[in-house]
Amino acid sequence: MAEFDVDLFVIGGGSGGVRAARIAANYGAKVMVAEEYRMGGTCVIRGCVPKKLFVIGSHVHQEIEDAAGFGWSIGQVSFDWATLVANKDKEIARLEGAYTSNVEKSGARIVKTRAVLEDAHTVRLATGEKVTAKYILIATGGAPNHGPAVPGIEHVISSNEAFHLKELPKRIVIQGGGYIALEFAGIFAGFGSDVTVVYRGDSVLRGFDEDVRKHVRAEMEKRGITIITGCTVAKVDKHGRDFTTHLSSGSSIASDQVMIAIGRHPNVRGLGLEAAGVAINPANGGIQVDGWSKTSVDNIYAVGDVTHRTNLTPVAIREGHAFADTVFGKRPVQVDHATIPTAVFSQPEVGTVGLTEEEARAQYSHVDIYKTDFRPIKATMSGRDTRVLMKIVVDGSSDRVLGCHIVGDAAAEITQAVAIAVKMKATKADFDATVALHPTASEELVTMRTPTARHVRQAAE
């Protein structure tokens, strides 16, 4: 009789857990996956995929406006929010089916129920069944953070509910200044909503390059989005179907929807972590793991947003794959969390990889900056008042490209390719030696020859 019921028990059917389950099963492991909601997790069900579909849909309004400059005369158009939501739901259901099918094809078994740790090798299902496992992987992701329990917090929505609203809000207040807040600000504005963003900091996109932050804010404001910084939502009053949002500054805003998007917290509650001896990282509230994604318990691992390391879907997938290779493939793999590209599907779009100017100047004695801000070719005919930002951060001593930051159409697509060069430690000379692809916006990345700034940090005496 086998010592354990399964070789691997995965708690969470999102991107990281699914990848780990499939790869482990391919190595011959007996695998069980527990998912209490829907297979696919945050990204597929209520995150990046439906968000990107909404972003694409919201761009159409701008395309219609820009068409006149290219000779198109487009008559009266209309938009139906319910149709968008219904079609999005169909696509998400298709993807959920694909995730389920791929796991089952690998030989792993899915149980649609909640799972809680009883000890280091035992999992209790909500059905009452107990399963013993040689290894356990926690991949429960994260959930929206509503922040302080201000009066009226029960009236607000998170990004979860935003995907299922019965109708498009005419006016919406969004608190937050990160990925989710800015992406939904662009989505709702693109569909015609009056949008106000409220953020506690001095500028949006904390942690991004300062030039990116300024450029994104300016471009969003050009598109009619109101951005109020330096304050927070203090209270929300509901009057029938309308709301009054009171700010910490003393002012108030009327709207018919209020959304809180101030970040996400790891899903660690009620998992039985204490019973199994799994430690929480006091610095970020996520499950504490080492470079191999191992927790404080030798046979229990954790990947993805529940660790609160780098909360990006491709990172969770990479971590899940590396775990399975290491534990079941006997091919030790550690994930390199440095130089990870990321995108904000705001409007305008942001793509970035590597160090910001501020980070580079703190780490390197000589830093060269190459920066350009220009009107894209489409705007010369459409007449739209918009500009693209491109910025390269270079180690002035070695000539290595340390970071690249782009704001404008297709920024994410461009950054994915540039990330390969940055990961390979390409130099500015390598960029300069690359022939430009004309006419594109991205050709600016290989034609910027003269630094716009050079920073030299004086050695301490």
Bind-site residues? 52, 176-183, 263, 305
The one-letter code for the residue type at 25 is A
Instruction: Tell me whether residue 215 is one of the annotated catalytic residues.
Output: no
**Catalytic residue (choose from 215, 265, 438, 455):** 438
Q: Where is the binding site for NAD(+), in residues?
A: 176-183, 263, 305
CB atoms within 10 A of CB 337: 12
Dihedral Cα 409, 411, 412, 417, nearest 10 deg? 130
Contact between 8 and 135 (Cβ < 8 Å): yes
**Alpha carbon distance 183, 177 (integer Å):** 10
**Alpha carbon distance 224, 210 (integer Å):** 22
Q: Where is the binding site for FAD, in residues?
A: 52
Cα 46 from chain centroid (whole Å): 12
Contact between 304 and 141 (Cβ < 8 Å): yes
Q: In sequence order, which residues have a C-beta less than 8 Å from that of residue 401 and are 6 or more positions away?
A: 354, 392, 393, 394, 421, 422, 425, 426, 427, 428, 430, 431
Tokens for 241, please give them. Answer: 């179907």
**Alpha carbon distance 331, 394 (integer Å):** 35
Q: Give the residues across from 133 on adjacent strands.
A: 6
Catalytic residues: 438
